[in-house]
């Protein structure tokens, strides 16, 4: 399957085909997702929690993101990859934002970068990165990098006024040149209104069924990350339990001397070589 471009995503919207979007952080997962037919992969800064064991996304660095994005690209050469710009990699200035967005394209083979927020300075960053020729995805609603100001991981746009503010932010992001917008943690009615007013693809995570596509964090939907689970997650598997069972069985079998079985899991040597080795070992030094 050929890698999709922003033109393919626009065409999918016109044909009312849903865009399927998942996060990935490593080679093996990306390989399975490409095989499964996902349209788009986000190398999210949720990497911080899912793969690096932090409590938040704040400590994630550009070097972390580049390393993992490279691995995902190797696993999924034919999938459109979005590199998530980590905290403080774009907030300082347009120049900083362009340089770091450029690293995702040059060093990691990403197709697009994603920035959180819809305030005036973020709108400027989106314009600047777009003018540098890089495809941008906006991200509004429950934006984890604004967690301090939002008072935690809380749904957004729940009053009419807050909803209008998100709808306006989406319009400004589109006008700034973004090729798509991710909307997170908002009521279905707000996801629907943003989608109906947009001329670019709107992807949703916890934003209801009306958006042009859906995103989930892969570790949530396969039951690997159990520190907390958001209301909008559907679990398609319980891989965490399966892996823990496999590790537990291994621990038990090694302790009990049941693994390895020499007839099955080890390399063979010719009988004459075994005999010669035995003779060599029996020679006293
Ligand atoms: O980092 C990430 O995976 C994200 C999602 C939470 C939308 O930005």
CA-closest residue to ligand 1 atom 5: 44
Distance CA 43, CA 73 (A): 10
Q: Which residues, including other chains, have CB under 8 Å from residue 191's CB and lie 6 or more apart?
A: 183, 202, 204, 207, 208, 210, 211
Distance from chain centroid for Cα 204: 13
Contact residues for 232 (Cβ-Cβ < 8 A; gap 6+): 185, 205, 206
Residue 213: phi and psi, rounded to 5, are -155, 170
CA distance 65 to 48: 9
Judged against a pLDDT cut of 70, whether residue 258 lies above it is answered with: yes
Task: Work out the average pLDDT over 144-154.
Answer: 93
User: Sorting pLDDT into bands at 50, 70 and 90, what band is 285?
Assistant: low
Catalytic residue among 95, 175, 184, 253: 184
Angle of helix 120-131 relative to helix 94-108, nearest 10 degrees, comes to 50
Percent of the chain whose pLDDT exceeds 90:
97
**Whose CA is closest to atom 2 on ligand 1?**
44
The pTM assigned to this predicted structure is 0.95
Atom of ligand 1 nearest to the CA of 44: 1
d(CA 15, CA 265): 53
Atom of ligand 1 nearest to the CA of 184: 7
Task: Give bridge partners of residue 128 from the DSSP assignment.
Answer: none
Between the CA of 45 and the centroid of ligand 1 the distance, in Å, is 6
Q: Does residue 44 have a pLDDT over 90?
A: yes
**pLDDT, tens digit (0-9, with 9 covering 90-100), for 196-242:** 999 999 999 999 999 999 999 999 999 999 888 899 999 999 999 99
Is residue 1's pLDDT more than 70? yes
Mean pLDDT, the chain, integer? 97
Of the residues 83, 217, 225, which should be mutated to test ligand 1's pocket, given the most ligand atoms within 8 Å of the CB?
217
Q: pLDDT tens digit string along 171-191?
A: 999 999 999 999 999 999 999
Q: State phi, psi for 23 to the nearest 5 degrees.
A: -90, 155
Residue 256 pLDDT level (bands cut at 50, 70, 90): very high
Residue for token pair 């197709």: 111
Pocket test for ligand 1, best of 85, 144, 146, 191 (most atoms within 8 A of CB): 144
Q: Is the pLDDT of residue 48 over 70?
A: yes
- The alpha carbon of 172 and the centre of ligand 1 are apart by a number of angstroms equal to 21
Tell me the CB-side half-sphere exposure of residue 54, using CA atoms within 13 A.
12
Q: What is the percent of the chain with per-residue pLDDT over 70, rounded to a whole number?
A: 99
- Ligand 1 atom closest to Cα of residue 23: 3
Which ligand 1 atom lies nearest to the CA of residue 50? 3
> Can you give the pLDDT at residue 69?
98
Q: Burial of 216 by CB count in 10 Å (0-12 exposed, 13-18 middle, 19+ buried)?
A: buried
Mean per-residue pLDDT, 100-123: 98
Measured from CB, residues less than 6 Å from any atom of ligand 1 are: 23, 42, 44-46, 84, 182, 184, 205, 217
Residue 139's DSSP bridge partners are 116, 182
pLDDT at 271: 96
Active site residue 256: no
Confidence of residue 105 (pLDDT cuts 50, 70, 90): very high
User: Residue 229 has what pLDDT?
Assistant: 87
């Amino acid at each position: 399957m050929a890698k999709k471009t922003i033109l393919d995503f626009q065409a999918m919207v016109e044909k009312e085909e849903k865009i399927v979007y998942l996060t990935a952080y490593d080679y093996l997962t990306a390989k399975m997702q490409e095989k499964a037919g996902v349209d788009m992969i986000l190398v999210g800064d949720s990497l911080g929690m899912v793969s690096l064991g932090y409590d938040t996304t704040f400590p994630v660095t550009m070097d972390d993101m580049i390393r993992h994005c490279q691995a995902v690209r190797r696993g999924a050469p034919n999938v459109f990859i979005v590199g998530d710009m980590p905290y403080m990699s774009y907030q300082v200035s347009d120049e900083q934002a362009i340089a770091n967005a450029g690293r995702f394209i040059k060093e990691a083979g990403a197709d697009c970068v994603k920035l959180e927020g819809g305030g005036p300075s973020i709108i400027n960053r989106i314009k600047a990165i777009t003018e540098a020729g890089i495809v941008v995805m906006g991200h509004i609603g429950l934006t984890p990098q604004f967690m301090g100001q939002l008072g935690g991981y809380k749904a957004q746009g729940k009053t009419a006024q807050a909803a209008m503010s998100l709808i306006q932010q989406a319009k400004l992001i589109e006008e700034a040149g973004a090729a798509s917008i991710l909307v997170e943690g908002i009521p279905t009615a707000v996801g629907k209104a943003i989608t109906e007013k947009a001329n670019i693809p709107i992807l949703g995570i916890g934003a209801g069924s009306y958006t042009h596509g859906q995103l989930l964090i892969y570790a949530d939907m396969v039951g690997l990350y159990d520190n907390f689970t958001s209301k909008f997650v559907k679990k398609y598997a319980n891989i965490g339990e399966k892996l823990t069972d496999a590790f537990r069985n291994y621990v038990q079998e090694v302790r009990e001397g049941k693994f390895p079985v020499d007839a099955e899991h080890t390399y063979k040597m010719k009988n004459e070589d075994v005999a010669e080795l035995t003779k060599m070992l029996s020679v006293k030094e």
